[in-house]
Structure 1
C-alpha cells in the first residue's frame, strides 16, 4: 500500500477497496520501517502551525481521527443500510487501529527529539572565558561564585554544576570568591595541582610556562591535592588564612609563607605591589601584564624593588625603574610579519654606565 492511500483516507476520499486496504495495513504493516519513515517525514515537514509543540501536533492528528469516528460516517441512502454499516465499521476499525500507531510514532519521535536536544545542550555545555590582553575580567559562575581573571588568563567551566563537585579549569591567574556549599566542594584544577574549597576566598597563579603554582588563601579553608594522571588525586594538606604556598608541579616540592599577602592579590584592584622583589620578578609580571618581550642584558641581580604601581602605563613603570636603580631601557620597533600582523613589542634593559 502506498502513502497516497493513507492521505486519501485522512481526507475522506478513499474507495471501499482502499478502505479495506487501510484496515489490512493498520493491522499488519503499520509498524514497518517504511510506514514509520512516512510518519516521521510528515511529522517533521508539518507546517500547519509553526508555533505548536509536539504535544499539540499530536492532539491535532488525534482529533482528525476522532472526527472521522464521530462525524465522517457515510450517510445512509435507501436500500444501502448494510453497506453503510459495513463502511461505518471499516472507518471505526481503521481509526481505532491507527490510534496506537500514532501513539507509537509520537513516542518514538519525542524520544528522538529529546535525545537531539540533550546532545545539543552537551555541545555548548562547557564555557571558556578569556581575559583580553591588557585587561582583567570578572566572571559570575553558575553557583553564584565570582572569579576575577588577570591579564590573558582563562577559565573553563560547565553551564550547570552537576554531580557532587563544582569543577573549573584555570590557566593563568584567578581570584575566587566561592559561594558556600558544604555539600558540593568547589575545585580549581590547574596543570598539576587541585585547590578544593567549600566557601572561601583565595588566589591561584598557574601559568603553563611556569613550573610553580602559587596559592594564596585570604579567608576560609582550602585543601591542596596533587593532580596525578590516571590516578586519584593525592591530598597534600590544607591551608589557613594568610598563608601563601608555592608548589613545583615537576618536583612535587612546596614551600609556604604566612603574613602579608596583599602583594599576591593587589592585581585584582589594578595594582602591582613589590616588596624586596628582584628585577627578574618585576619583569615576569610586566611581561604578562603588557604582553611584551623584555630582555635583560648584563648582571642585574642586585637590582631590588619595593614599590606599588597603580594603573601606570608600561613606559611610566620603566621610567620609575630607571630612577630607582642604575638601569636604562630601549623600546625596539615592532616588526611586520608575513601575515600582516606585527610582532610583540620588544624592550631591552641593561645596566646604566
Structure 2
C-alpha cells in the first residue's frame, strides 16, 4: 500500500513538472505578443481554454502512451496545434502556471512586545516590528516579487533588475529593484510612511477614485500618505538610521509626534497609553532603549508638562501641552 501511494505521489509530481514544461514550451514557441486574427484585430486571450487543452493533452497522453518521453511528445503536439492570437499574451504564462501549480502563501507575525527577522526565498532580509504581519509566497515566480504588509518593517531587498520587488500596504504600493528602506502601515494609524536608507523607491498612492500618483524617493527621503485625505507629503534630510533602530531592539524617537510615539510604546510593551487631545501636537525626541515603562511615562509627562494617571495596564496622559 505504501509503495502504491509513493508511486501515486511520484506520478502527481511528474505531471506537475510536465504541466509547467508544457506551459513554458507553449509560450516559448508562439510569438503571441504581436499576433492578430485574420481580420487584423487583436483577439482576447482565453486562459480557461488553454488550461483545459493542456489538461486534456495530459489525460490523452496518459491513456495512449507508455513512458514519460512519449507522453511529452503527444501532449506537446496537441498543445502546439492549439493556436491563439493575442496581444501581450506572454504575460499569461505565469497565470497559467499558477493555475496548474499554485505557490503556497505564508504569513509571518510579530506579536506586541517582539520583533522578528526573516529572509525571503530571493535573499531579501526583512525585520518585522511589533504588532505586524507579513504575507509572502513560498517562492517567487514570474517577473515580480510581491508581498503584503500590515504594520512596520525594515527591508533590505536583494537586487534583481529583472524582477521588481513590490510591497502592498492597503491602497499603497511600494516598488523597488534592490534597496533598503523602512515602511510603516499600521491599521490603527491614519498614515502610511516610507523612508529610504539606500537605493531608489517608487511609492504609488491613490489620488482620487480612478487616479494614482507615483513619488520617487532616494536616500534620506520620506513620503507620508494620509489615508483619509488621500494626500502625500514628501520630506527630505530624514535620519532613517534613527527611526529604524527598532530592528536592533532600540526605542528611539526624533521629532516624532506624540500619538505615533505612544503607539510605538503600546506595541513595544504591550500596554495601552492614551493622551488628551490637546497633547496631539507635541513631538518627542528621546532614547528610551532599556528604560522601564514607569520611567518612560515619567519622562514623557515632564515633556508634555503634565502627568500620567495609571489604571491597571492603562495610562492616561494629561497636561498643558507643548
Do these two structures clear the TM 0.5 threshold for a shared fold by scoring above it? yes
For 1:246 and 1:263, how far apart are their aligned partners in 2?
A: 17
For 1:155 and 1:48, how far apart are their aligned partners in 2?
A: 38
- The aligned counterpart of 1:261 is 240
Query: For 2:7, which of 37, 44, 53 is the aligned residue?
Result: 53
Q: 1:218 to 1:303 in 2, by over 3 A?
A: closer
List gaps (5 residues or longer) in structure 2.
12-59, 72-97
Conserved in 1, the CA contact under 8 Å of 2:197 and 2:241?
A: no
- Do structure 1's residue 241 and structure 2's residue 243 form an aligned pair? no
**Cα distance, 1:212 vs. partner?**
1.2
- The aligned counterpart of 2:148 is 169
List gaps (5 residues or longer) in structure 1.
1-46, 58-99, 111-117, 334-344
Structure 2 SS opposite 1:284: helix
For 1:330 and 1:211, how far apart are their aligned partners in 2?
A: 26
Structure 2 SS opposite 1:310: coil
**Cα distance, 1:294 vs. partner?**
2.0
Q: 1:159 to 1:278 in 2, by over 3 A?
A: closer
Matches within 5 A, 1:67-106: none
**Cα distance, 1:55 vs. partner?**
10
For 1:306 and 1:55, how far apart are their aligned partners in 2?
A: 60
- The aligned counterpart of 1:194 is 173
- The aligned counterpart of 1:341 is none
For 1:120 and 1:332, how far apart are their aligned partners in 2?
A: 56
TM-score, length-scaled by structure 1: 0.59
**Cα distance, 1:217 vs. partner?**
0.6
Q: 1:160 to 1:349 in 2, by over 3 A?
A: same
Q: 1:55 to 1:275 in 2, by over 3 A?
A: closer
For 2:160 and 2:277, how far apart are their aligned partners in 1?
A: 53
For 1:126 and 1:56, how far apart are their aligned partners in 2?
A: 23
- Do structure 1's residue 224 and structure 2's residue 178 form an aligned pair? no
Conserved in 1, the CA contact under 8 Å of 2:129 and 2:152?
A: yes
Structure 1 SS opposite 2:131: coil
**Cα distance, 1:174 vs. partner?**
0.7
Structure 1 SS opposite 2:251: strand
Between Structure 1 and Structure 2, whose CA radius of gyration is higher? 1
- Do structure 1's residue 309 and structure 2's residue 288 form an aligned pair? yes
Query: For 2:259, which of 280, 284, 287 is the aligned residue?
Result: 280
| Greater than 4 Å deviation, 4+ residue runs | 54-57, 102-107, 118-121, 227-231, 301-304
TM-score, length-scaled by structure 2: 0.65
For 1:55 and 1:346, how far apart are their aligned partners in 2?
A: 55
RMSD of equivalent CA atoms: 3.5
- The aligned counterpart of 2:184 is 205
**Cα distance, 1:254 vs. partner?**
1.0
Structure 2 SS opposite 1:271: coil
- The aligned counterpart of 2:271 is 292
Query: For 2:229, which of 224, 231, 251 is the aligned residue?
Result: 251
Structure 2 SS opposite 1:174: strand
For 1:321 and 1:55, how far apart are their aligned partners in 2?
A: 62
**Cα distance, 1:177 vs. partner?**
0.4
